[in-house]
Amino acid sequence: MKNAKRLVVSLAGMAALALAGCMFIPAAPTGSIEGFVVDHGSGEPVVGAVVLAYPEGGDVPLYTVGSAYYGPVATTDASGHYKLTVPEGIYTVRAEKDGQAVSIIQGVVVGSTAKLDIIQKPVFNPGWPLEPPEVEVTIEGNPVEPGDRIELDAAALADGLDFRVDASGPNDINLIYAALGKTPGAGWLTAPREVFGSTYTSGDATLDPANYGVEGWTTFEVVVYDMNENRVHLIFHVYIPEAAGPPSIGAPTGLTALAVTLGKKVSFYGEPLTVPSGAGELEIHAAPEGGNLYVELTWDASPDDASITGYRIYRKLAGEADFELIGTVAAAGDPTASYTFRDSSSRLAVGVEATYQVRAYQGSTESAAVEASTTPLDVWDVRLLEPADGATGVSLTPTFRWQPTKVVGNDQYYVWVLWDLALGAGYYLATDFLNETQFDYTDLGIVADPYEYLQPHRVYQWYIGEAVAYDDFANPTAISIAVNDVSWLTGNPHMPLPATDLFTFTTGDW
């Protein structure tokens, strides 16, 4: 009995040593997985999410070791960032948090550092299961496992890349996405991609690698959402035969980079907003719900556009030594074409300069780079001051005053809106308030006619219908939209960025 007790104590001591990093721990960590957890692409950080990694094909561990030496578990910080230290291998990474659906990524290959951003959406119904779907994938008729390397030749790709995705789980399947060279999702950020809605299977499907502008080793990625927003992301590595590159390729031209900061949660919408600038109207496409920052690149085609594979987009953030390849765009086959690419990386940050290069390429031949930089602006909002909300006896020729919550950029543009609530219509709309925070009704120049005054004992509502900050109104490379709610004027049916304050006041006597 004493011997048994001594054995138990000995085993307990050995377990303690193991947990302390002294036994049964790999001799040295050889890599890491790090990135950000966000609630949507280009979205807000998910703070306090628990992120863990375990070998691909293994079971979710019942317990994990967390120490300075070996730490396959992390909790996201205030920016949504996490870092896991792991031995070399292929991993599944899982993110969990109360109130959020579960997100897993399979096939994460770790050599040195693997950068992995994770989308973890708010759960749709807390009473529904929080277990992501099981997903099976075939490529060219062969079952494949996450992390596999699949070399495809020209014969196999003669009719495109054939694939099939089958998903099952405790919840119905909502969406199945697939793409080459990128993580597929909503079309606003990730087009082109293959999408299948409200189905358990893609069926036998085909995609054309030429539409994705990729060559050589790249990724084939599948994302599946169930109806409770549980998410599975599978990563495979495929080889697309490279074309023979010409001796040289003409560079693209006219690259512009515009950082767009959105100050409120918005959703996708079909038509773009436009905001004014000294360089003309800027067409802005909103980010997904929760989104608040992205960079939109535009450029004109290479003179060799008709014969090349596509364009490679590189980015370098302030403080980084080298440019990093972040995406590809397929060539349109038209030297007069224009292109757009949206960078919604979680690594973008307010006040951190991002420099981009775009190069035309085919095979191993790349053109010279065209380069542009932008520094994203901070979020901001507008507060109304006068006439105050609920004020009575207000002058029939009042002064309207407002102020920004913080001064963002070098220029701020406002649209002022006044509603006559008795008529149910806009009474007056004044535009072109650039760097002004006050409007005197007498400035309308109509006060000589008392019938153009505000009416006595009438209830009015006023607000700022548009508020946009610019790094330079005349030639913007970064804007921050606090309010864009003048759709009734522009004919745009959407109101993605409403005003925070809507003040109501009542006028006095003549």
Closest Cα partner for 495 from 217, 265, 205?
265
Residues 118 and 154 in one domain: no
Q: Is residue 7 part of a domain?
A: no
Residues 401 and 502 in one domain: yes
C-alpha 166/C-alpha 168 separation (Å) is 7
User: What percent of the chain has a predicted confidence (pLDDT) above 70?
Assistant: 82
Task: Give the pLDDT band of residue 451 (cuts 50, 70, 90).
Answer: low
C-alpha 226/C-alpha 172 separation (Å) is 6
Residue 19 pLDDT greater than 50, yes or no: no
Q: Is residue 14 part of a domain?
A: no
Q: Is residue 272 part of a domain?
A: yes
Residue 189, pLDDT score: 76
Residues 109 and 154 in one domain: no
Q: Is residue 13 part of a domain?
A: no
Residue 219 pLDDT greater than 70, yes or no: yes
Q: Is residue 8 part of a domain?
A: no
Of 60-64, 183-187, 293-297, 359-363, which range is least confident? Answer: 60-64
Average pLDDT over residues 478-483: 92
Cβ-Cβ contacts under 8 Å for 26 (sequence gap 6 or more): 70, 87
Residue 291 pLDDT greater than 60, yes or no: no
Of 323-327, 403-407, 438-442, which range is least confident? Answer: 438-442
C-alpha 481/C-alpha 262 separation (Å) is 5
Write the DSSP assignment of 464-499 as a string of letters: EEEEEEES-TTS-SEEEEEEE--HHHH--S---B--
Task: Give the pLDDT band of residue 452 (cuts 50, 70, 90).
Answer: low
Residue 202 pLDDT greater than 60, yes or no: yes
Residue 425, pLDDT score: 61
Residue 419, pLDDT score: 86
Task: Give the pLDDT band of residue 15 (cuts 50, 70, 90).
Answer: very low
Residue 138 pLDDT greater than 90, yes or no: yes
Quick one: 232 exposed, middle or buried, by C-beta within 10 A (0-12, 13-18, 19+)? buried
Of 31-35, 289-293, 313-317, which range is least confident? Answer: 289-293
Asked if residue 412 lies in contact with residue 476, where contact means CB atoms within 8 angstroms, the answer is no
Neighbours of 203 (CB within 10 A): 11
CATH number of residue 305's parent domain: 2.60.40.10
Domain boundary among 334, 351, 374: 374
Residues 140 and 186 in one domain: yes
Neighbours of 448 (CB within 10 A): 6
Residues 395 and 360 in one domain: no
Residues 257 and 368 in one domain: yes
Quick one: 105 exposed, middle or buried, by C-beta within 10 A (0-12, 13-18, 19+)? buried
Q: Strand 161-168 relative to strand 338-343: parallel, antiparallel, unpaired?
A: unpaired
Residue 428: DSSP 8-state:
E
Q: Is residue 5 part of a domain?
A: no
Greater pLDDT, 299 or 284? 299
Cβ-Cβ contacts under 8 Å for 508 (sequence gap 6 or more): 392, 393, 394, 395, 396, 456, 457
Q: Is residue 220 part of a domain?
A: yes
CATH number of residue 61's parent domain: 2.60.40.1120
Domain boundary among 374, 392, 418: 374
Average pLDDT over residues 8-15: 36
Average pLDDT over residues 134-158: 95
Greater pLDDT, 390 or 112? 390
Sign of CA dihedral 135, 138, 144, 148: negative
Residues 112 and 191 in one domain: no
Task: Give the pLDDT band of residue 284 (cuts 50, 70, 90).
Answer: low
Q: What's the domain range around 224? A: 128-242
Residues 232 and 279 in one domain: no
Of 189-198, 264-273, 397-406, which range is least confident? Answer: 264-273
Of 42-51, 298-307, 438-447, 487-496, which range is least confident? Answer: 487-496
**Averaged pLDDT score across all residues of the chain:** 85
Q: How many domains does the chain have?
A: 4
Residues 111 and 195 in one domain: no
Q: Where are the beta strands (DSSP E) in 245-292?
A: 253-262, 273-275, 282-284
C-alpha 103/C-alpha 97 separation (Å) is 10
Q: Is residue 458 part of a domain?
A: yes
Residue 249 pLDDT greater than 70, yes or no: yes
**How confident is the model over 350-390, as pLDDT tens digits?**
899 999 999 999 999 999 999 999 999 998 999 999 999 99
Domain boundary among 212, 242, 272: 242
Residue 5, pLDDT score: 34
Cα 47 to chain center, whole Å? 16
Q: Which two tokens stand for residue 330?
A: 């397929």
Residues 188 and 288 in one domain: no
Asked if residue 301 lies in contact with residue 335, where contact means CB atoms within 8 angstroms, the answer is yes
Residue 16, pLDDT score: 41
Residues 99 and 151 in one domain: no
Task: Give the pLDDT band of residue 24 (cuts 50, 70, 90).
Answer: very low
Element at 240 (helix H, strand E)? strand 231-240
Greater pLDDT, 484 or 13? 484
Residues 117 and 132 in one domain: no
